[in-house]
């Protein structure tokens, strides 16, 4: 048998083997991503929920000894035995708590697996559409599971992949060399900032293809067609989403005014649902209050909208269930941001619940938002907006640029976190919490991209 005939006979076999190898590589890539995503979420849980000795739910050795001596003297029981019993009971309670969370943990794993699998399949379908449209070469802009899946699918089907990476400058050079190749943006989140980066390197809009075209529409819908420019008259924009609690919102505005040094430089953005009629008349006589009334949406979409319409140099994300207890809070935040010449910083105070471990109510500068794009993901229901932002700046700190500022004496007491009303028994609330946990885990690549964008903006000597 001649060599040419044998090559033609073995061609279907080789093609099948390449398809199988690509399939295995994609599965391996998203399995690795699943592990990284879950480790990222596990690190968040350990950081935010590891309570120090003496916090509610745990007992310090001094408290054990004092209580044991008090009770042991009355009953003739040795204090040491009572202390050992309480320690054992504390360990048993923590073990029971972990077992109760095991069900949530397995659901979290299934959710992350599902998201990564669906993402890999969506990438393959998108590349198939490009091939059906007659494309012969491709430039992939992105990283992680989406970029790997797109590249492997393209190579399996004979499409020439000229470049795959996340450096916009390299994308610009390759796109200038291969002018016929479209640029596929293989990211699911943060597509608006990706479009801005491609514009900066001179890539025409008609060459850009999106993995999920609805993602750009969704982000544009929540952030508006234009971003508000910061004005000198407004130093801090305080974002307060509220629903069904007009009394708490009024008390918060009273606290903001009473403890502000320059209340004329503070604006309050009240985000109110259209079906919450008692909150439609919320106002304050001595503060600059702007009300935005619209359909009920998640906290992610509301935060993105507030970031677009805010006029302040700093965006402070609050709830209506906190109390601003520190006088001069506005000056403290402004000074903390102004200590950096480029203005990139994330400042947070003490919520009397998690303290330094979590930026429960973050204040992020406009310069940092310009690098990140959106202050939150529009799909977030309620949780982990502050964790997402704090994780970005913790990554930046590990790169040698510490722009995360904790003000321990800036007290923002969290009312509901200290034992007030909550809806943890609501089944739908538990479902939303699980959705937000899965979303936070799968946003790991987006946080890495945001960190790189901030690092590129900062000077090499930034601290």
Cα separation of the two ends of the chain: 70
- Whether this prediction's pTM lies above 0.85 is answered by no
Assign 423 a pLDDT band (cuts: 50, 70, 90): very low
Ranges for all domains in the chain classified under CATH 3.40.50: 1-53+100-211
Please state at what angle helix 299-309 crosses helix 385-398, rounded to 10 degrees: 70
| Residue whose C-alpha is closest to residue 145's, from 137, 153, 136 | 153
**What pLDDT does 165 receive?**
85
- Does residue 431 or residue 27 have the better pLDDT? 431
Give the Cα separation of 373 and 196 in Å (integer).
Answer: 9
**What pLDDT does 48 receive?**
58
| Residue whose C-alpha is closest to residue 312's, from 358, 385, 246, 260 | 260
**What pLDDT does 9 receive?**
54
Long-range contacts: 27-35, Cβ < 8 Å, 24+?
27/120, 29/120, 29/144, 29/145, 29/148, 29/149, 30/116, 30/117, 30/119, 30/120, 30/145, 30/149, 31/116, 33/116, 33/144, 33/145, 33/444, 33/445, 34/109, 34/112, 34/113, 34/116
CATH architecture label of 1-53+100-211:
3-Layer(aba) Sandwich (3.40)
**What pLDDT does 63 receive?**
34
Give backbone dihedrals phi and psi of 123, rounded to 5 degrees, phi first. -65, -45
Q: 439: which 2 tokens?
A: 């979303």
**What pLDDT does 65 receive?**
35
Name every residue whose Cβ is closer than 8 Å to that of residue 450 and which is 6 or more positions away in sequence: 190, 371, 372, 373, 392
Assign 17 a pLDDT band (cuts: 50, 70, 90): low
Q: 75: which 2 tokens?
A: 């009953």
Q: 195: which 2 tokens?
A: 């479009």
Q: What percent of the chain has pLDDT over 70?
A: 69
113-149 b/e (C-beta count within 10 Å ≥ 16 → b): bebbbebbebbbebbeebeeeebeebbbbbbbbbbbb
**What pLDDT does 66 receive?**
34
CATH class of domain segment(s) 233-457: alpha beta
∠127-453-384 over CA atoms, to 5°? Answer: 85
- Mean pLDDT across the chain: 78
Q: What pLDDT, in 10s, does the model give residues 379-389?
A: 898 889 999 99
Q: What is the CA radius of gyration of the chain?
A: 26
Give the Cα separation of 194 and 143 in Å (integer).
Answer: 13
Q: Is 361 exposed, middle or buried (0-12, 13-18, 19+ CB in 10 A)?
A: buried
Ranges for all domains in the chain classified under CATH 3.90.550.10: 233-457
Give the Cα separation of 400 and 95 in Å (integer).
Answer: 37
């Amino acid at each position: 048998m001649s060599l040419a005939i044998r090559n033609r006979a073995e061609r279907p076999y080789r093609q099948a083997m390449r398809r199988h190898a690509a399939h295995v590589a994609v599965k391996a890539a998203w399995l690795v991503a699943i592990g990284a995503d879950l480790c990222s979420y596990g690190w968040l849980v350990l950081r935010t929920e590891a309570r120090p000795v003496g916090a509610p739910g745990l007992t310090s050795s001094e408290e054990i000894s004092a209580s044991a001596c008090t009770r042991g003297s009355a009953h003739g029981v040795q204090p040491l035995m009572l202390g050992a019993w309480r320690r054992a009971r504390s360990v048993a309670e923590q073990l029971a708590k972990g077992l109760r969370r095991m069900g949530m943990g397995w659901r979290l794993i299934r959710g992350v697996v599902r998201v990564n699998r669906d993402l890999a399949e969506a990438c393959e379908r998108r590349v198939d559409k490009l091939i059906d449209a007659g494309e012969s070469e491709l430039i992939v802009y992105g990283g992680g599971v989406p970029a790997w899946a797109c590249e492997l699918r393209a190579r399996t089907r004979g499409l020439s992949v000229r470049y795959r990476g996340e450096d916009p400058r390299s994308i610009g050079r390759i796109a200038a060399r291969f002018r016929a190749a479209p640029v596929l943006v293989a990211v699911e989140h943060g597509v608006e900032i990706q479009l801005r980066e491609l514009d900066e390197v001179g890539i025409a809009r008609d060459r850009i293809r999106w993995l999920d075209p609805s993602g750009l529409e969704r982000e544009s819908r929540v952030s508006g067609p234009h971003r508000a420019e910061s004005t000198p008259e407004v130093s801090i924009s305080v974002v307060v989403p509220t629903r069904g609690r007009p009394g708490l919102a009024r008390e918060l505005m009273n606290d903001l005014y009473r403890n502000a040094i320059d209340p004329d430089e503070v604006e309050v953005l009240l985000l109110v649902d259209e079906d919450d009629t008692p909150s439609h008349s919320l106002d304050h006589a001595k503060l600059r209050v702007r009300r935005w009334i619209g359909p009920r949406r998640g906290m992610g979409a509301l935060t993105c909208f507030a970031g677009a319409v805010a006029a302040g140099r700093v965006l402070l994300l609050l709830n209506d269930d906190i109390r601003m207890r520190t006088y001069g809070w506005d000056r403290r935040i402004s000074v903390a941001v102004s200590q950096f010449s480029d203005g990139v910083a994330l400042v947070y105070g003490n919520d009397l619940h998690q303290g330094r471990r979590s930026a429960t109510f973050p204040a992020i500068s406009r310069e940092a938002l310009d690098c990140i794009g959106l202050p939150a993901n529009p799909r977030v229901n309620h949780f982990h907006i502050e964790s997402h932002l704090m994780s970005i700046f913790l990554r930046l700190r590990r790169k040698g640029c510490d722009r995360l500022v904790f003000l321990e004496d800036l007290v923002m007491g969290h009312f509901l976190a200290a034992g007030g009303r909550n809806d943890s028994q609501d089944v739908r609330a538990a479902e939303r919490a699980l959705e937000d946990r899965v979303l936070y885990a799968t946003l790991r690549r987006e946080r890495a991209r945001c960190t790189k964008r901030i690092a590129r903006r900062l000077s090499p000597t930034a601290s």
